[in-house]
Amino acid sequence: MTESIPQQAKELEAGDHKAYMKFALSLTTNSPPKPTNYRVGAVVVDIATNEILATGYTLELPGNTHAEQCCFEKLAAKYGIAASRIGEVLPNQVALYTTVEPCSQRLSGNLPCVDRILAIGNKIKTVYVGVHEPEKFVSDNSSKRKLEDANIEFVHVPGLEKEILEVATAGHEKAS
């Protein structure tokens, strides 16, 4: 499974976190709107070369898959290894952009995204998020604390919250 990265994404400037977040947001529209999950987009970037290593969005792969999980599973498939071993093949400095804070608990029984990030080891240096996870499905998301405790920088990229939440919650019942 070889991933095709759109040309405009290949032209993103290193350090332009808002542009990377906008690209992650563009991925979310591929995710089907459902009342039981958020539509999230994620991008894994080699910090040294500014190369996009993987992209993902909610429910891109079979099963109840989250965006970050899809990125990691696609990387594992690319290298022909188990997803739990991708830290062995990743560059030494990787950033993860995700429109919604990685989950700290999965109601489906799947491994939470924050635990997937931590399992990769010290390769992911920074996690950039567009919005903190709303408390609809899991209250008191502990991802930020867990990442910071593991010396992984957690950075909120401001300015796209309204758009991210609008797309993320498509298919949800709106409160009146």
List the catalytic residues.
68
Can you list the domains of the chain with their CATH numbers? 20-168 (3.40.140.10)
* Model confidence at 119: pLDDT above 90: yes
Coil, helix or strand at residue 3: coil
Q: Which of 70, 76, 134 is nearest to 96 (CA)?
A: 70
CB-based burial label for 106 (10 Å; 0-12, 13-18, 19+) = middle
- For residue 56, name the pLDDT band (cuts at 50, 70, 90): very high
Give the pLDDT confidence score for residue 5 in this predicted structure.
74
* pLDDT for the residue 160: 96
Strand 94-100: give its sheet, edge to edge: 51-57, 41-46, 94-100, 124-131, 153-156
Residue type, 20: Y
Return the pLDDT at 136: 58
- Percentage above 90 pLDDT, the chain: 71
The neighbour count for residue 85, using CB atoms within 10 Å, is 12
Tokens found for residue 130? 């567009």
Summarize pLDDT for 120-148 with one digit per residue, the tens.
988 999 999 999 876 655 556 689 999 99
Residue with tokens 């998020």: 129
Q: Are the C-beta atoms of residues 61 and 75 closer than 8 Å to each other?
A: no
- Threshold 0.85, pTM exceeds: yes
pLDDT band at 28 (very low <50, low <70, confident <90, very high): very high
Task: pLDDT band for 161, please (50, 70, 90 cuts).
Answer: very high
Q: Are 125 and 147 in contact (CB under 8 A)?
A: no
